[in-house]
Amino acid sequence: MQLIYLVAAGGTIEKVYSEQTGTVRNADSKIERYFRLLRLPDAEIRTTHVMNKDSLEMTDADRRQVLDTVRQLLAEQPAPMIITHGTDTMVETGLLLKKELPDLRYPIVMTGAMTPLGFEGSDGLQNLTESLLAVRLLPPGIWLVIHNQVFPIDQVRKDREKAQFLPT
């Protein structure tokens, strides 16, 4: 049984629709509900909810908090890790991790979604499924996995108009 960490840091992938306000927002984490749609007989997913924010609102302190959580989990027991994060500043957080965590023994995969999990046309479950496979195959390092693409974190940027990631 493969241990895989899932660190949930908010972003579009976890947004919900509020019937009272008529808006989408980050509220409680819903990612575990979607993991149950997958068959993972050989994976033990250990989920940590760090925060649930739109990534445009994340501060340097927030990114430090993600880093601290990652560091603490890997210190307890090294294992592959997925971080779900808003796509707008995913690269920024990833670059901080790359700088601060030079001696990784396993891959850390950052992913997210353009449309929230469970909304028509969502890419969320695809990206989670891909990331779960990617952490089993990638070498140590910080990666961004989305839309059937795999990027080293320092060779990728978001194209907001196209709602996709491109190599730099």
Interface residues with its own copies (CB under 8 A)? 12, 15, 17, 19-20, 22-24, 37-43, 54, 114-121, 123, 126, 129-130, 132-134, 136-138, 145, 147-150, 160-164
CB of 12 to its own copies, least distance (A): 6
CB of 112 to its own copies, least distance (A): 12
Minimum CB distance to its own copies smaller for 103 or for 161: 161
The per-residue DSSP string of 94-107 comes to HHHHHHH-TT-SSE
For residue 107, how many other CB atoms are within 10 A of its CB? 20
Minimum CB distance to its own copies smaller for 69 or for 153: 153
Q: 53 with 26: CB under 8 angstroms?
A: yes
Residue 75 in 3-state DSSP? helix
Minimum CB distance to its own copies smaller for 41 or for 102: 41
How distant, in Å, are the alpha carbons of 53, 73, 81, 132, 163 from that of 69? 16, 6, 11, 19, 28
CB of 156 to its own copies, least distance (A): 12
